[in-house]
Amino acid sequence: MAEFRFAEEKDIPIILKFIKELADYEGMLDRVEANEELLKKWLFEKERAEVIFVLEDGKEVGHALFFHNFSTFQGRAGIYIEDLYVTPDYRGKGYGIGLIKELARITVERGCGRLEWGCFDFNTPSIEFYLGLGAEPVDEWTVYRVSGETLEHLSK
């Protein structure tokens, strides 16, 4: 049975390591701007997101980084998973589903209405995993984003 624990400020280096490993897996390591200072500020000082670890024999072998969103239709918060990652040597042992189940438990415990996440279209193994859990793709929505120079320009 998997063990879980919430991250503490002292865990910032492992959080950053997992973020970079996930980005590398997705072919986007060059896009990572996160550093220890930013993670400290946004995760532990501003408390804008949370991280839980899945542990094997007390060792962090994966994590989920998540935050609350809000559904106006449901009239209550939900949880959005930004990152779900298990290190390659520990995949296939049930830790990914363990993290999802733990987040589902937290979602229900907090009275939230739904648990959501995104997945790249090319990530077939993850898509098959999510479908196997009973998750449903939300095909009628397209995510739009502004960032970087476009965000700066728009803010003026």
Paired tokens of 36: 């220890």
How far apart, in whole angstroms, are the C-alpha atoms of residue 80 and residue 77?
Answer: 10
Locate tokens 């994590």: which residue? 63
Q: Is 6 helix (H, G, I), strand (E, B) or coil?
A: strand
Active-site residue, selected from the candidate residues 85, 95, 130, 144: 130
Of 98, 8, 105, nearest in space to 54 by CA: 98
Whether 130 is catalytic is yes
How far apart, in whole angstroms, are the C-alpha atoms of residue 115 and residue 117?
Answer: 7
List active site positions.
130
